[in-house]
Structure 1
């Protein structure tokens, strides 16, 4: 079961309420909860891959933490980033490894 997300409402609820609703209720509520279609672990790996490929490191940090919570191991994250280095770019992999090293240090 995917945990109810409230980041949209917490961070943008007063400023951009519709966006906050779409983020929390549609993306994380409806899409991420479709466990019968794709596990939260797999969704996390896909999301982290997409964020790395686009160089969206501010968003990557929270998604990498969520990936760890969803069962992605350090070894899997390292392999994913290594694979992406060849397709998304070496500098992006270096940046992603910096985050991964902190998040998966224990």
Structure 2
């Protein structure tokens, strides 16, 4: 792709990141080149594959992040899952399932992270409703 032509993957990736992260940064605290690659390739290509529904892809991503103990990314993707309509019950069931394969410590940690994310988002929702 030439430098004078816009990369359509960037637009698609930004739109998807907007759905997931509701206006928050899709690529928090990473350098510019990695952020561009993440938006273009990960969100602009990989997440665009129609073989999996968006909610399925989000739940798979959360599962991998729980199994590998990636707490910082869990915060981001648990928010994304909620923004896509995935219930807390479904995420809790996934964490319980993962506990049997990846271990109790990662599941306990993920449970805490999920509770933090849900509580924060509940407060944000209440504040938005209160300001209307």
What is the alpha-carbon distance in structure 2 between the residues aligned to residue 32 and residue 60 of structure 1?
Answer: 17
Partner of 1:25: 40
What is the alpha-carbon distance in structure 2 between the residues aligned to residue 49 and residue 10 of structure 1?
Answer: 22
What is the alpha-carbon distance in structure 2 between the residues aligned to residue 97 and residue 78 of structure 1?
Answer: 7
In the superposition, the TM-score normalised over structure 2's length comes to 0.68
- Check the 8 A contact 1:9/1:21 in 2, yes or no: no
Listed as ranges, the matches of 1:47-58 within 5 Å are 47-58=61-72
Assess, with a 3 A threshold, how the Cα gap between structure 1 residues 40 and 10 changes in structure 2: closer, same or farther.
same
What is the CA distance between 1:10 and its match in structure 2?
Answer: 7.2
Listed as ranges, the matches of 1:64-75 within 5 Å are 64-75=78-89
Give structure 1 stretches of 5+ with no counterpart: none
What is the alpha-carbon distance in structure 1 between the residues aligned to residue 28 and residue 88 of structure 2?
Answer: 30
Partner of 1:38: 52
What is the CA distance between 1:8 and its match in structure 2?
Answer: 3.6
Query: Number of paired residues?
Result: 101
Assess, with a 3 A threshold, how the Cα gap between structure 1 residues 81 and 89 changes in structure 2: closer, same or farther.
same
In the superposition, the TM-score normalised over structure 1's length comes to 0.82
What is the alpha-carbon distance in structure 1 between the residues aligned to residue 74 and residue 29 of structure 2?
Answer: 18
Give structure 2 stretches of 5+ with no counterpart: 1-11, 18-24, 123-132
What is the CA distance between 1:21 and its match in structure 2?
Answer: 2.2
Dislocated runs of 4+, deviation >4 Å: none
Matched, 1:94 2:113: no
